[in-house]
Amino acid sequence: MRATFDKPNHLGILLSEINKMENDIAKLRNDIESSAVKRDVGVARIAAMQKELRSTIAQVDSFVSSRDRKGLLMTGADKALRELAAIFKDDPIEGPLQEASMSVWAKLQFED
């Protein structure tokens, strides 16, 4: 019996964190305007929160571009392997080439 493990949705978690930080910043701005928080303290805190928000947004951009890059790599590899299979169709090397192609494909899929 094989155990299965769900992959965490890192992108979803980061997007949720961004939404929460934006809400926190908006609440702090409202507290500053209503004088519930001193202006100088609140402005400094907003600056720190915005820096954290920009960092999280950069992480999302990195995550998405990494996934896009891998998708492009996989598309190119798929095309190359299909072309090789078409070139060597009905050739004695077709069987070993197919096995080698599947090994390459598996290795590409599991690389990060």
Instruction: Judge whether 45 lies within some domain.
Output: yes
Instruction: Judge whether 30 lies within some domain.
Output: yes
Work out how many domains the chain is built from and give that number.
1
* This prediction's pTM: 0.54
Structure tokens at 108: 């590409």
Instruction: Judge whether 43 lies within some domain.
Output: yes
Instruction: Judge whether 1 lies within some domain.
Output: no
Instruction: Judge whether 3 lies within some domain.
Output: no
- Each of the 112 residues of the chain gets a pLDDT tens digit; together they read 566 767 777 778 888 989 999 999 999 999 999 989 899 999 999 999 999 999 988 888 887 777 777 777 788 888 888 888 888 888 888 888 888 888 888 887 777 5
Range of the domain at 57: 10-110
Phi and psi at residue 58, to the nearest 5°: -65, -40
Instruction: Judge whether 5 lies within some domain.
Output: no
DSSP state of 37: S
